[in-house]
Amino acid sequence: MPHPIRTLALAILLGLAVGCPADDAGDPSRAVATTQHEVEGWRSVPQPATANPMEPAHTGAVSSPPNFVLIVVDTLRADHLAHYGYERDTTRHLDGLRRRATIFDNAYSTAPWTGPSTISIHTGLSTIRHGANAHGDRIPDEAITLAEYLSDAGYATHGISFNPNVSRKTGFDAGFDVFDDAHRSSTSYPDISQMTQKVYEWAEAAPTQPFFLYLHPMNVHGPYRVPPPRQADLLGTPPSREFKYYDGEVMHPLMRDPERDKDALRASVSPAYLQSLIDQYDTAVRYSMDQIAFMIGILAERGLLENTVLILTSDHGEELFDHGGFSHGYSLYRELLHVPLYLHLPGQTTPGKRDHLVSTIDILPTVLELADIEPRATPDGISLLTPSDLVPGDRLIIQQTSWPKRAVGLSAIRGRHHFIDLERSYDHPEPSIRLFDLGADHAEQHDLAAVRPEQITELRGTLTTRIEALAHQQRLDAPRNVLGQMDMEQLRALGYVE
C-alpha cells in the first residue's frame, strides 16, 4: 500500500488537491489515498438545508466539546480569492470547503500588519486595548489567549507558525502544549509544503482528547514564494522575472526613501512590472490554497474533522499598487484590512453567507461559545454565531497602525463607509483624512472627505467616543523589544525592518 504522505506529495507536484468539484470526472486527484466521500463529506452526518442561507447551519450539529482548527494565512486579501468574486480561480481546490462553510463577505482585520492583528485574533482584543503595536512587542501577560482558554478546559493544543512575528518570543506559545515556530535559524520562511508535512505527522499521532490546531503559513507574504515546478501549472504561465520584492529600483525607494519623488517613482512603474507583481501574488495564493486543501484532506482522511470547527482567515491583506504603493503596514486602505473568513461547523453540509460587518476579534468569542467556556475577561468582539438581525447595524470596526516609518493613524468602518484618519504616512508627512463609500466604491478610488464634512465630524466623534470607552476598560501593557538579532534579520528579509 502506498505511503499516504508520499501519495499526497506526488499529487501536490502534479498540481492536484482534495476537495475537487464533483463534476471533475476523471480528475487524477481522485488517486489521493482517501475516498471522495471521506474528504468531501468529512464523514459528517447530513444536516437539513439551512432555512436561512445567511445563517450558519449549526443547530444541533456541534457536539460537546468540539475540536478547533484555526488557519491564518498571512497577507491574504479577500478580493484575490475566487470565492470572493476574483476572476482568477485561486481557490478551486477549496471548493469542498466553500460548499459546506459559512463565508463572511465583510470581515476586517484590526491592523494592516501581522504583529498587532494576530494578537487581536488570539486575544479577542482590539489594538487599543492590547497595546502591542510595534515590532518586538509581546502579547501582554494579563491577556488570556485562545490557546490558554482551551488548554485550561482540557484541550490538547498544537501550533505551527512560519512568521517570526508569531513566535514563542512574542508570547504566542502561551497555552500551547507545542508551539512550532520553525523559522528560528533562517532569514527566509519555510515553504508551506513543510507545514503540510508537519500536519500529517501531527495527525498520525493525534490526541484522543479534544484538540486545538493553529496554523500560520507564509507563502502569500512577499516575496510570494512558490516552488519553480509549480509556477507554470498554477496560473498557466510562469510569472515574469521583472518584478523583485523590495528591489532597489522601484519598491524600496518608493516605500522607504522619504527623499525620493513619489510621483515620479509611481510614473516609472510599468504595466509589465505590475502584472508580474499580481501574477506572483496570485500564484502564491493558489499554491497556498492547494496546500491548505491537502491539510484539510489529511485531517478528514483520519476522521479528525468529524467533530471539528474549522476557521480560515488572514491577519491582513496586501497592497498591489491599488493606491500607488506596495506591501503592507503603509496605509489603512481596504486592500490591507479586508480579509477572508470561513467558518465550518460540525455537521454543516450547506453553505452560508453573511454580509454584515465582522472583525477578526470575533473569532475568540465564537470559539468560547462553541466550547461552552465562560470568558474570564470581556473580549472586544462578538460571536460570529450571533444572528445577523441581532448584530448592531451601527457597529464600528476599528483598525490602527502605529508604525512611525510607515503610517500612524486609525480607521473605522461602519455600515458601508470607511473613515481613515492618519497622523502621517510614508508619502504624506502631514495629517490626512479620507472617507469612502464601500457600497459604491469598494476599491476606494473616490475620496468623499471634502464633500461630506458633516459625516466626517460625526464619524470622528463616534470613533473618539469608542476609543475612550475601550481605554476605560482594562488596558494592557505589552512587553517591548523582546526579539533578538536573528529575529530582526528575519524581519528585515521579509520587509518588516528597514
**pLDDT for the residue 489:** 53
Least confident stretch, 27-31, 157-161, 274-278, 391-395: 27-31
Mean pLDDT for the stretch of residues 35-41: 40
Least confident stretch, 57-61, 299-303, 347-351, 472-476: 57-61
Mean pLDDT for the stretch of residues 371-383: 94
pLDDT above 70 covers a percentage of the chain that reads 78
Mean pLDDT for the stretch of residues 408-422: 96
Is the pLDDT confidence value at 290 over 80? yes
CB 340 within 8 A of CB 312: yes
Least confident stretch, 116-120, 386-390, 476-480: 476-480
User: In Å, how far from its chain's centre is CA 252?
Assistant: 25
Half-sphere exposure of 369 (CA within 13 A, CB side): 15
Least confident stretch, 209-223, 257-271, 475-489: 475-489
Is the pLDDT confidence value at 36 over 60? no
Edge-first strand listing for the sheet containing 396-403:
396-403, 407-414, 417-425, 432-437
Is the pLDDT confidence value at 219 over 50? yes
**pLDDT for the residue 34:** 35
Amino acid, res. 311: I
* C-alpha distance from residue 295 to each of 39, 357, 360, 441, 479 (Å): 11, 29, 22, 36, 34
**pLDDT for the residue 43:** 35
Between these two residues, 196 and 129, which has the higher pLDDT value? 196
Phi, psi for residue 158 in degrees, rounded to 5: -140, 125
Is the pLDDT confidence value at 461 over 70? yes
pTM of the model: 0.86
Residues contacting residue 463 through CB under 8 Å, at least 6 positions apart: 396, 398, 410, 412, 419, 421
CA dist 117 and 109 (Å) reads 6
**pLDDT for the residue 14:** 32
CA dist 337 and 466 (Å) reads 19
**pLDDT for the residue 120:** 96
Edge-first strand listing for the sheet containing 211-216:
178-180, 156-161, 211-216, 67-72, 308-313, 341-344, 102-104, 352-354
pLDDT-derived band at 63 (thresholds 50, 70, 90) equals low
Is the pLDDT confidence value at 47 over 50? no
Mean pLDDT for the stretch of residues 130-159: 92
Mean pLDDT for the stretch of residues 330-344: 98
Is the pLDDT confidence value at 122 over 50? yes
**pLDDT for the residue 18:** 38
CB 435 within 8 A of CB 459: yes
Mean pLDDT for the stretch of residues 77-101: 95
* C-alpha distance from residue 236 to each of 83, 89, 230, 290, 308 (Å): 20, 11, 10, 15, 35
Mean pLDDT for the stretch of residues 93-103: 95
CA dist 284 and 280 (Å) reads 6
Q: Give the other-Cβ count within 10 Å of 55's Cβ.
A: 17
**pLDDT for the residue 117:** 96
Query: 3-class secondary structure for the chain?
Result: CCCHHHHHHHHHHCCCCCCCCCCCCCCHHHHCCCCHHHHHHCCCCCCCCCCCCCCCCCCCCCCCCCEEEEEECCCCCHHHCHHHCCCCCCCHHHHHHHCCCEEECCEECCCCCHHHHHHHHHHCCCHHHHCCCCCCCCCCCCCCCHHHHHHHCCCEEEEEECCCCCCCCCCCCCCCCEEECCCCCCCCCCCHHHHHHHHHHHHHCCCCCCEEEEEECCCCCCCCCCCHHHHHHHHCCCCCCCCCCCCCCCHHHHHHCCCCCHHHHHHCCCHHHHHHHHHHHHHHHHHHHHHHHHHHHHHHHCCCCCCEEEEEECCCCCEECCCCCEECCCCCCHHHHEECEEEECCCCCCCEEECCCEEHHHHHHHHHHHHCCCCCCCCCCCCCCCCHHHCCCCCEEEEEEEECCCEEEEEEEECCEEEEEEEEECCCCCCEEEEEECCCCCCCCCCCHHHCHHHHHHHHHHHHHHHHHHHHCCCCCCCCCCCCHHHHHHHHHCCCCC
Q: What is the mean pLDDT of the chain?
A: 83
At 186-195, the pLDDT tens digits run 557 899 999 9
Q: Is the preceding omega at residue 65 within 30 degrees of 0, hence cis? A: yes
Between these two residues, 226 and 209, which has the higher pLDDT value? 209
Residues contacting residue 211 through CB under 8 Å, at least 6 positions apart: 67, 68, 155, 156, 157, 158, 304
Mean pLDDT for the stretch of residues 279-292: 93
**pLDDT for the residue 249:** 77
At 240-281, the pLDDT tens digits run 666 667 666 788 889 888 888 999 999 999 888 888 889 889
Mean pLDDT for the stretch of residues 371-375: 96
Name the architecture of domain 62-389: 3-Layer(aba) Sandwich (3.40)
Is the pLDDT confidence value at 199 over 50? yes
Residues contacting residue 427 through CB under 8 Å, at least 6 positions apart: 262, 324, 325
Is the pLDDT confidence value at 46 over 70? no
Mean pLDDT for the stretch of residues 469-487: 59
Q: Which of 141, 195, 133, 210 lies closest to 173, judged by CA?
A: 141
pLDDT-derived band at 498 (thresholds 50, 70, 90) equals low
What residue spans define the domains of the chain?
62-389
**pLDDT for the residue 9:** 42
